[in-house]
C-alpha cells in the first residue's frame, strides 16, 4: 500500500447508527494493519469513551481524541501531544451553560456529566449515547461544584442543546473568548482550546511517526473532520455526511450503515 496512515472518525463514520462496528469493516481494518498501515481513530470522544474500539480492534495503537486536543499511544500508555482548555476558560464555558437549559459534558481522561441531565438525555438530542454514558460516565450532582473542587485544564467540553437557536446563543456568548467552537450532532457545540482540531492532531502524529502527508488518507462525516481532510493527501466523506462536508472531500462513499469505511479503504488499497 502507498498509504501508511488512515485517520478515521468514529460516530457517523466507523460506527453504524446503532453505535456498532460491522464485521466486514473490522476485517478490512485488520487486513491493512497487517500490511503495515497505521489505522488511527480520530474522534471527538475522550479516551474513556473508546472501550468498544479497544475490545473489537485491540491492534489499533494511536488515537487522536477530543477533536485533536490529545494524541495518544495506547501501546506505550503515552501522551504524544496535548492542548487543553485553561481553567479560566473552563469557567466561562460553565457560565455559558447557565444561560440556557442545556447538558454539559466534560471530556478529558474521564467523561463527566450531571446525573439529572443523563436522566433526560433525549431532551438534549443525545439519546443514541445514553447506553455509553450509563456505562462509562462519571455522574456528579453538579459540574460547577465538581470543577471548583477539582480545578484543572480540560481537553474538551460539549454543550448539548434542546434546539439550534439555543446553540446559536451559546456560540454568540463563547465567541468572545479564545476558544475553538465546532458544530456537532444536531444541536451540540464542542469547545476546545483555540488552534485545536483533528488536522493539527494528525499533523502532530504524522510528524511523530515520520509519515509524509502524501501517505495519509482520512475518512469522516462532520465539520470537525474538515481539518483532517486538509491534512491528508486524499479524503473521503461518508454518504450520510453534511452536504458541505461532502463538497470538501475528494471522494464520497456509502453511508455508515452500508460499509462506507470499507469502501473507502478498498479504494485506498488499490490506489497507485
Can you tell me the mean pLDDT for 23-31?
97
What integer pLDDT is reported at residue 1 of this predicted model? 73
SS3 238: coil
165-174 confidence digits (pLDDT tens): 999 999 999 9
103-136 confidence digits (pLDDT tens): 999 999 999 999 999 999 999 999 999 999 999 9
108 touches 150 (CB < 8 A): no
Mean pLDDT, the chain, as a whole number?
A: 96
Grid cell in block for residue 168: 446559536
Residue carrying the nine cell digits 474538515: 226
The larger pLDDT score, comparing residue 254 to residue 1, is at 254
Q: Domains in the chain, start-ordered, CATH in brackets?
A: 5-83+196-269 (3.40.50.1000), 87-193 (3.30.1240.10)
Report the distance separating Cα 71 and Cα 110, nearest Å: 15
Can you tell me the mean pLDDT for 250-262?
98
pLDDT at 22 over 80: yes
62 touches 43 (CB < 8 A): no
Which one, of 243, 233, 226, 230, lies nearest residue 268 by Cα? 233
Grid cell in block for residue 177: 473568548
193 touches 105 (CB < 8 A): no
Grid cell in block for residue 141: 450532582
Residue 165: Cβ within 10 Å count: 10
SS3 245: helix
Taken in order 3, 229, 69, 128, the sign of the CA dihedral is negative
Amino acid at each position: 500500500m502507498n498509504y501508511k496512515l488512515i485517520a478515521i472518525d468514529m460516530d457517523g463514520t466507523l460506527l453504524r447508527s446503532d453505535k456498532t462496528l460491522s464485521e466486514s469493516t473490522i476485517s478490512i481494518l485488520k487486513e491493512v494493519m497487517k500490511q503495515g498501515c497505521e489505522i488511527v481513530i480520530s474522534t471527538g470522544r475522550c479516551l474513556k469513551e473508546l472501550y468498544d474500539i479497544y475490545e473489537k480492534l485491540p491492534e489499533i495503537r494511536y488515537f487522536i481524541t477530543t477533536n485533536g486536543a490529545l494524541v495518544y499511544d495506547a501501546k506505550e500508555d503515552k501522551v504524544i501531544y496535548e492542548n487543553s482548555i485553561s481553567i479560566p476558560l473552563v469557567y466561562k464555558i460553565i457560565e455559558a451553560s447557565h444561560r440556557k437549559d442545556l447538558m454539559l459534558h466534560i471530556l478529558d481522561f474521564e467523561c463527566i456529566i450531571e446525573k439529572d441531565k443523563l436522566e433526560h438525555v433525549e431532551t438534549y438530542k443525545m439519546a443514541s449515547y445514553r447506553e455509553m454514558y450509563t456505562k462509562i460516565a462519571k455522574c456528579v450532582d453538579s459540574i460547577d461544584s465538581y470543577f471548583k473542587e477539582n480545578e484543572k485544564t480540560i481537553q474538551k467540553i460539549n454543550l448539548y442543546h434542546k434546539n439550534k437557536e439555543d446553540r446559536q446563543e451559546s456560540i454568540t456568548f463563547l465567541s468572545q473568548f479564545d476558544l475553538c467552537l465546532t458544530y456537532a450532532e444536531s444541536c451540540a457545540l464542542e469547545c476546545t482550546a483555540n488552534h485545536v482540531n483533528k488536522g493539527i492532531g494528525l499533523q502532530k502524529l504524522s510528524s511523530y511517526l515520520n509519515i509524509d502527508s502524501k501517505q495519509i488518507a482520512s475518512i469522516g462525516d462532520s465539520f470537525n473532520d474538515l481539518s483532517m481532510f486538509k491534512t491528508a493527501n486524499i479524503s473521503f466523506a461518508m454518504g450520510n455526511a453534511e452536504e458541505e462536508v461532502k463538497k470538501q472531500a475528494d471522494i464520497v462513499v456509502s453511508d455508515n450503515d452500508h460499509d462506507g469505511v470499507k469502501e473507502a479503504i478498498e479504494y485506498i488499497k488499490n490506489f497507485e
